Structure 1
Amino acid sequence: MIRHLVLFKLNDGVERDDPRVVAGVEAFRALGSLIEELRFWELGWNISERPIAYDFAINSAVDDADALKRYLEHPAHQEGVALWREFATWVVADYTY
């Protein structure tokens, strides 16, 4: 199995209730039921107020590298990524477990 973690940081001046952010969250929330390669899917807003904390996280899992590739290339995933590019930056970690 491969764990796929993504941490998002909203751009300066962008708030959670921004309509673009709301649309981005909903687009990613839907992926759990749209992409069959996903074995585990959860996401949520950070509750920590530490200055180094990111704002939003996705925690997911797929069977193997091929499944990760299919997930990343899936049109619904690509559409969500395009939305998030407008208002956030992110970091990714993929590891086997």
Structure 2
Amino acid sequence: MGIRHVVLFKFKDGVTWADPRAKAAEAATREHPRHIPEIGHWQCGRNVAQRAIAHDFALTGDFADRDAVARYLVHPDHVRGVELWRAIADWSVVDFEVDPNPAE
């Protein structure tokens, strides 16, 4: 079974997309697949919902297995992204098993 990694980011009070730190964190996250070979499929983006309960940014990444996720988590490019987000946001994570070859 593969692993789908999902992260939802919520800005800390006073942080908006106008903040250059937010733009830097977003850019670093978008570039992870170029630097981290364990990433299979990657999608991320800004929230477009106008709801108070909505988060500000989300990502999903697919990995071959739990070992691939473990390598991703300690990869220097990921660690740098974590540092950028830590300064401006809190987040929630879920990793769940997915069938890498679902029937169509």
What TM-score, normalized by structure 1, do the two folds share? 0.97
Name the residue aligned to 1:3.
Answer: 4
Distance 1:39 1:17 in 2: 31
The sequence identity of aligned pairs, in percent, is: 46
Which AA in structure 2 matches 1:20?
R
Distance 2:5 2:18 in 1: 26
Distance 2:37 2:18 in 1: 29
Distance 1:78 1:17 in 2: 23
Distance 1:33 1:42 in 2: 13
- RMSD between aligned alpha carbons? 0.6
Structure 1 stretches lacking a partner, 5+ long = none
Q: Find the residue that maps to 1:79 and give its secondary structure.
A: helix
Name the residue aligned to 1:56.
Answer: 57
Name the residue aligned to 1:24.
Answer: 25
Alignment of 1:1-97 (within 5 A): 1-97=2-98
User: How many pairs align?
Assistant: 97
What TM-score, normalized by structure 2, do the two folds share? 0.91
Bigger radius of gyration: 2
Distance 1:74 1:64 in 2: 16
Runs of 4+ in 1 over 6 A off after TM superposition: none
The structural deviation recorded for 1:50 is 1.4
Structure 2 stretches lacking a partner, 5+ long = 99-104
Q: Deviations over 1:47-79 (max 9, x none)?
A: 111111111001111000000000011000000
